[in-house]
Amino acid sequence: METTLIILKPDAVQRGLTGEIISRFERKGLTIAGMKLMQISKPLAEKHYAPHQGKPFYPGLIEYITAGPVVVLAVRGQRAIEISRRMMGKTFGYEAESGTIRGDFGSSKTYNLIHGSDSPDSAAFELSLYFQKDELLDYSRPDGRWVFKANET
């Protein structure tokens, strides 16, 4: 099982898309192991996006992610990172395929609705920024046996 960080960014929250987006993860068979509605502070945003510091888009990225409330999710399941990234779609909404979150709800290059960790290492780091260990719950969904075969990797 993998756990990944998903952030529903200020534009997703302000547009009232949080329920729709969360339900897509659940319908896919992934488990919500943790969830918070919060305002990301500038220092937290700077830690999160430290790998992008010095790039031309960095100041705008910090301004965008701190502009309003976000919903932060810990999403768990087999291949949760890969599945989540595919569900999100390409970074720019106008390039994203229909059926993906960005493809269905986004058109902007700047406002792209959602963030998801891109690797197990970034997931571990990012999850530690937003959740304490005791805030992540481990439970089974009754339909879980029909989503992934027990020994399937």
Q: Which residues are catalytic?
A: 115
Phi-psi region of 18 (alpha: psi -120 to 50; beta: other; left: phi over 0): alpha
Using DSSP's 3-state secondary structure scheme, residue 116 falls into: strand
Using DSSP's 3-state secondary structure scheme, residue 34 falls into: strand
Cβ proximity of 49 and 66 under 8 Å: no
